[in-house]
Amino acid sequence: MSQARGSADELMRSGGLVRVPHALREYTNGQDEVLLEALDVASLLRSLDATFPGIRDRVVDETGQPRRYVNVFVNEDLVRGDF
């Protein structure tokens, strides 16, 4: 497992590619990858949810923490934190 080099608020240079697992593709109309512009993981999740309503609640809990079964990577580094 990779160690995170920065915080979850680390800027993403050109947006983010979200790889959607099979269990969440009902929210993305079957798309397995979604490209969105965002400055950080939190804004990426807001953008994802604005485009595909309801998906954010499946990724993070009510406190903004990633659910146990969710891994978030930024440039191949695993990140944890409030999103």
pLDDT digits (tens, 9 = 90+) for 15-37: 788 999 999 999 999 999 999 98
Burial classification of residue 68, based on how many CB atoms lie within 10 Å of its CB (0-12 exposed, 13-18 middle, 19 or more buried): exposed
For 72, the domain range is: 16-79
Integer angstrom CA distances of residue 9 from 23, 31, 39, 43? 26, 26, 8, 9
* Residue 3 counted as domain residue: no
What is the pLDDT at residue 28?
96
**Any alpha helices (H) in the chain, and if so which ranges?**
41-51, 55-59
Q: Span 1-28, mean pLDDT?
A: 67
* Residue 8 counted as domain residue: no
- Give the domain CATH number at 56: 3.10.20.30
Q: What's the pLDDT band for 13 if we cut at 50, 70, 90?
A: low
Share of the chain above pLDDT 70, in %: 83
81: left (phi over 0), alpha (psi -120 to 50) or beta: left
**What's the chain's average pLDDT?**
82
Q: What's the pLDDT band for 14 if we cut at 50, 70, 90?
A: low
* Residue 28 counted as domain residue: yes
Alpha-carbon gap, residue 3 to 6, rounded angstroms: 9
Q: How many domains does the chain have?
A: 1
Which of the 8 DSSP states describes residue 56?
H
